[in-house]
Amino acid sequence: MTTDFGIWLSALLSLAAFSFLIKENKFYNIAESAFIGVGTGYAFAMACSNIKSRGLQKLAEGDFLVIVPLLLGLCLFGKMSKSTSWLGRYPAALLMGIGSALAIRGAVESEIVRQIAATCMPLNSINNIITVVGTLATVSYFLFTLKGSGSHLSGTIDTLSRVGRCMMMIAFGASFANATMGRCATLIDRLRFLFEEWIYLIR
């Protein structure tokens, strides 16, 4: 077995996390609390580093525009008291507005524009045909106004929607399998660490 204190600590925390497979216990709670504490401490340290490098340092160099974000950030601490809680409304509203705008812009660009551009491809291979037909069939699944009207177009839409439902089930299954493979890879790596670097069972 290794004599490295860091490896021992990591191994014991890993075993404490694995103990949740039996039932929730104090060892698991300790590992969970340690993980949350380390993550919070790291985030706090990174925030302080950003304030120093992007705020105070630039302010010392003569860039007085950083006073605005610094003041807005200080106003957020007004939420800690009822008498000054109104000060935190303005930076919070600004953060919500900017965050919503960036999220909407990113969603439209990545999930609509790029999706349409990726689907516009020549039908010169089986993969391209499956991609185009699968996309159109999946979209047709959500055309509720044209289903069941009895027209020829309605029958075509109904057929495409059934194909689209199958496509969605295949996509969901593939996504779940991919997530499962990722978790299994993490588990294998942790077991390799325990057996190879901790107790030297695998050399």
Q: pLDDT tens digit string along 162-182?
A: 999 999 999 999 999 999 999
Six-digit token string for 122: 């020549």
Q: What is the pLDDT, as a whole number, of residue 35?
A: 95
Q: Is 43's pLDDT higher than 90?
A: yes
d(CA 199, CA 8): 10
d(CA 150, CA 133): 23
Q: Is 2's pLDDT higher than 70?
A: yes
CA-to-CA separations, 8 to 99, 156, 187, in angstroms, rounded? 42, 64, 18
Q: What is the pLDDT, as a whole number, of residue 149?
A: 61
Q: What is the pLDDT, as a whole number, of residue 156?
A: 83
Q: What is the pLDDT, as a whole number, of residue 5?
A: 94
Q: What is the pLDDT averaged over residues 27-42? A: 96
Q: Is 152's pLDDT higher than 80?
A: no
Task: Tell me how long the chain is.
Answer: 203
Burial 101-122 (b: 16+ CB within 10 A, else e): eeeeeeeeeeeeeeeeeeeeee
Q: What is the pLDDT, as a whole number, of residue 48?
A: 93
What is the Rg, in whole angstroms, of the alpha carbon atoms belonging to the chain? 27
Chain centroid to Cα 203, Å, comes to: 36
Q: What is the pLDDT, as a whole number, of residue 30?
A: 96
Average predicted confidence (pLDDT) for the chain: 91
Which residues are CB-neighbours of 2 under 8 A, at least 6 positions away?
8, 197, 198, 199, 200
d(CA 107, CA 142): 19
Q: What is the pLDDT, as a whole number, of residue 154?
A: 76
d(CA 173, CA 180): 10
Q: What is the pLDDT averaged over residues 91-109? A: 93
Confidence at 33, pLDDT banded by 50, 70, 90? very high
Q: What is the pLDDT, as a whole number, of residue 158?
A: 85
Q: Is 68's pLDDT higher than 80?
A: yes
Q: Are 137 and 163 in contact (CB under 8 A)?
A: yes
Q: What is the pLDDT averaged over residues 40-57? A: 94
Residue 95: closest CA among 114, 115, 117, 75: 75
102-150 pLDDT tens trace: 999 999 988 888 888 888 889 899 999 999 999 989 988 888 776 666 6
